[in-house]
Structure 1
Amino acid sequence: MPKPPQIYAKHPACLNLEAGDHWWCSCGLSGHQPFCDGEHTGTGLGPKKFTLSLPTQVRLCNCKQTQTPPFCDGSHQVV
Protein backbone atom coordinates (compact mmCIF):
# COMPACT_ATOMS: atom_id res chain seq x y z
CA MET A 1 0.00 0.00 0.00
CA PRO A 2 1.44 3.43 -0.92
CA LYS A 3 2.45 5.87 1.78
CA PRO A 4 0.47 9.14 1.77
CA PRO A 5 2.19 11.88 -0.22
CA GLN A 6 4.08 14.57 1.66
CA ILE A 7 2.73 18.09 1.22
CA TYR A 8 5.49 20.13 -0.42
CA ALA A 9 3.70 23.50 -0.40
CA LYS A 10 0.17 24.88 -0.04
CA HIS A 11 0.23 26.78 -3.32
CA PRO A 12 0.56 25.65 -6.94
CA ALA A 13 3.69 25.95 -9.05
CA CYS A 14 2.81 28.38 -11.87
CA LEU A 15 5.17 27.63 -14.74
CA ASN A 16 5.62 28.20 -18.45
CA LEU A 17 6.55 24.79 -19.85
CA GLU A 18 7.80 23.77 -23.26
CA ALA A 19 5.93 21.26 -25.39
CA GLY A 20 6.84 17.64 -24.68
CA ASP A 21 6.83 15.11 -21.87
CA HIS A 22 7.11 16.13 -18.23
CA TRP A 23 7.16 14.04 -15.03
CA TRP A 24 5.28 15.49 -12.03
CA CYS A 25 6.28 14.40 -8.51
CA SER A 26 3.31 12.74 -6.78
CA CYS A 27 5.09 11.85 -3.51
CA GLY A 28 6.24 15.33 -2.41
CA LEU A 29 9.81 14.17 -1.70
CA SER A 30 11.59 15.39 -4.83
CA GLY A 31 14.27 18.02 -4.43
CA HIS A 32 13.25 19.41 -7.83
CA GLN A 33 9.59 20.21 -7.17
CA PRO A 34 7.19 20.00 -8.82
CA PHE A 35 9.08 17.49 -10.97
CA CYS A 36 10.24 13.98 -10.12
CA ASP A 37 13.88 13.26 -9.26
CA GLY A 38 13.44 9.62 -8.20
CA GLU A 39 13.07 10.21 -4.44
CA HIS A 40 9.77 8.27 -4.50
CA THR A 41 11.62 4.93 -4.41
CA GLY A 42 9.98 2.70 -1.80
CA THR A 43 6.94 4.94 -1.27
CA GLY A 44 4.61 3.14 -3.67
CA LEU A 45 4.02 6.52 -5.33
CA GLY A 46 5.45 7.13 -8.77
CA PRO A 47 5.69 10.16 -11.01
CA LYS A 48 2.80 11.22 -13.25
CA LYS A 49 3.77 11.71 -16.88
CA PHE A 50 1.99 14.47 -18.76
CA THR A 51 2.51 15.69 -22.29
CA LEU A 52 2.00 19.19 -23.63
CA SER A 53 1.51 19.62 -27.37
CA LEU A 54 2.34 23.34 -27.24
CA PRO A 55 4.27 25.59 -24.87
CA THR A 56 1.75 26.18 -22.08
CA GLN A 57 1.39 28.05 -18.80
CA VAL A 58 0.36 25.51 -16.14
CA ARG A 59 -0.51 25.41 -12.44
CA LEU A 60 0.99 22.19 -11.05
CA CYS A 61 -0.11 20.85 -7.69
CA ASN A 62 2.43 21.16 -4.87
CA CYS A 63 0.22 19.86 -2.04
CA LYS A 64 -0.05 16.46 -3.78
CA GLN A 65 -3.75 16.16 -2.83
CA THR A 66 -5.24 17.18 -6.20
CA GLN A 67 -7.96 15.07 -7.80
CA THR A 68 -6.72 16.21 -11.25
CA PRO A 69 -3.00 15.32 -11.18
CA PRO A 70 -0.68 16.93 -12.04
CA PHE A 71 -2.77 20.09 -12.17
CA CYS A 72 -3.87 22.14 -9.18
CA ASP A 73 -7.59 21.86 -8.31
CA GLY A 74 -7.49 24.04 -5.19
CA SER A 75 -7.09 21.14 -2.73
CA HIS A 76 -4.31 23.09 -0.96
CA GLN A 77 -7.01 25.36 0.46
CA VAL A 78 -8.41 22.52 2.60
CA VAL A 79 -5.30 20.53 3.65
Structure 2
Amino acid sequence: MSEAVIAQTAPYEMELEPGTYYWCACGRSKDQPRCDGSHAGTGFEPLAFKVDKPGKVWLCGCRRTKTPPFCDGAHQSLKEGA
Protein backbone atom coordinates (compact mmCIF):
# COMPACT_ATOMS: atom_id res chain seq x y z
CA MET A 1 0.00 0.00 0.00
CA SER A 2 1.27 3.46 -0.86
CA GLU A 3 1.34 6.42 1.49
CA ALA A 4 -1.77 8.57 1.81
CA VAL A 5 -1.95 11.86 -0.12
CA ILE A 6 -1.51 15.02 1.95
CA ALA A 7 -4.82 16.78 1.34
CA GLN A 8 -3.69 19.88 3.25
CA THR A 9 -1.02 20.72 5.81
CA ALA A 10 -3.49 21.87 8.45
CA PRO A 11 -6.39 20.24 10.27
CA TYR A 12 -10.01 20.59 9.19
CA GLU A 13 -11.92 22.44 11.92
CA MET A 14 -15.51 21.18 11.93
CA GLU A 15 -18.66 21.57 14.00
CA LEU A 16 -20.25 18.11 14.09
CA GLU A 17 -23.55 16.83 15.38
CA PRO A 18 -23.90 13.40 17.01
CA GLY A 19 -23.66 10.62 14.46
CA THR A 20 -21.27 8.42 12.49
CA TYR A 21 -18.87 10.00 10.02
CA TYR A 22 -16.38 8.59 7.51
CA TRP A 23 -12.96 10.26 7.37
CA CYS A 24 -11.01 10.02 4.12
CA ALA A 25 -7.92 7.99 4.97
CA CYS A 26 -6.38 8.11 1.48
CA GLY A 27 -6.38 11.90 1.05
CA ARG A 28 -7.92 11.70 -2.45
CA SER A 29 -11.53 12.67 -1.68
CA LYS A 30 -12.88 15.81 -3.37
CA ASP A 31 -15.12 16.27 -0.29
CA GLN A 32 -12.35 16.56 2.32
CA PRO A 33 -12.17 15.45 5.04
CA ARG A 34 -15.15 13.19 4.27
CA CYS A 35 -14.80 10.07 2.14
CA ASP A 36 -16.31 10.24 -1.36
CA GLY A 37 -15.18 6.81 -2.58
CA SER A 38 -12.00 8.04 -4.28
CA HIS A 39 -10.04 5.38 -2.40
CA ALA A 40 -11.33 2.62 -4.75
CA GLY A 41 -8.40 0.47 -5.84
CA THR A 42 -5.86 2.18 -3.56
CA GLY A 43 -5.88 -0.29 -0.66
CA PHE A 44 -7.20 2.42 1.66
CA GLU A 45 -10.56 2.37 3.40
CA PRO A 46 -12.40 5.25 5.07
CA LEU A 47 -12.27 5.40 8.85
CA ALA A 48 -15.66 5.44 10.56
CA PHE A 49 -15.85 7.45 13.76
CA LYS A 50 -18.69 8.34 16.08
CA VAL A 51 -19.50 11.72 17.59
CA ASP A 52 -21.51 11.46 20.82
CA LYS A 53 -22.22 15.13 21.47
CA PRO A 54 -22.29 18.23 19.29
CA GLY A 55 -19.10 20.21 19.17
CA LYS A 56 -15.94 21.27 17.42
CA VAL A 57 -13.36 18.73 16.23
CA TRP A 58 -10.12 19.02 14.30
CA LEU A 59 -9.71 16.27 11.71
CA CYS A 60 -6.30 15.47 10.23
CA GLY A 61 -5.61 16.93 6.79
CA CYS A 62 -2.06 15.63 6.31
CA ARG A 63 -2.86 11.94 6.97
CA ARG A 64 0.22 11.58 9.20
CA THR A 65 -1.58 11.67 12.57
CA LYS A 66 -1.01 8.88 15.08
CA THR A 67 -4.59 9.43 16.34
CA PRO A 68 -6.78 9.16 13.22
CA PRO A 69 -9.07 10.79 12.32
CA PHE A 70 -8.10 13.52 14.79
CA CYS A 71 -5.21 15.94 14.34
CA ASP A 72 -2.24 15.35 16.63
CA GLY A 73 -0.08 18.17 15.24
CA ALA A 74 1.92 15.94 12.86
CA HIS A 75 1.39 18.54 10.10
CA GLN A 76 3.72 20.91 11.94
CA SER A 77 6.69 18.78 10.86
CA LEU A 78 5.71 18.91 7.17
CA LYS A 79 6.81 21.54 4.68
CA GLU A 80 4.26 23.27 2.44
CA GLY A 81 3.91 21.44 -0.83
CA ALA A 82 5.16 18.15 0.66
Q: Which amino acid aligns with 1:7?
A: I
Task: Flag structure 1 segments of 5+ consecutive residues without an equivalent.
Answer: none
SS at match of 2:15: strand
- Superposed CA deviations along residues 12-40 of structure 1, whole A, max 9, x for unmatched, are 00010010000000100000000100000
Q: Which amino acid aligns with 1:53?
A: D
What is the percentage of aligned positions where both structures have the same residue?
46
In the alignment, which residue of structure 2 is the partner of 1:3? 2
Q: How many residues align?
A: 78
Question: Under a length normalisation based on structure 2, what TM-score does the superposition of the two structures give?
Answer: 0.92
Aligned CA-pair RMSD: 0.6
In the alignment, which residue of structure 2 is the partner of 1:48? 47
Q: Where has structure 1 moved over 6 Å in runs of 4 or more?
A: none
SS at match of 1:36: coil
In the alignment, which residue of structure 2 is the partner of 1:26? 25
Task: Flag structure 2 segments of 5+ consecutive residues without an equivalent.
Answer: none
Q: Which amino acid aligns with 2:73?
A: G
Matches within 5 A, 1:64-75: 64-75=63-74
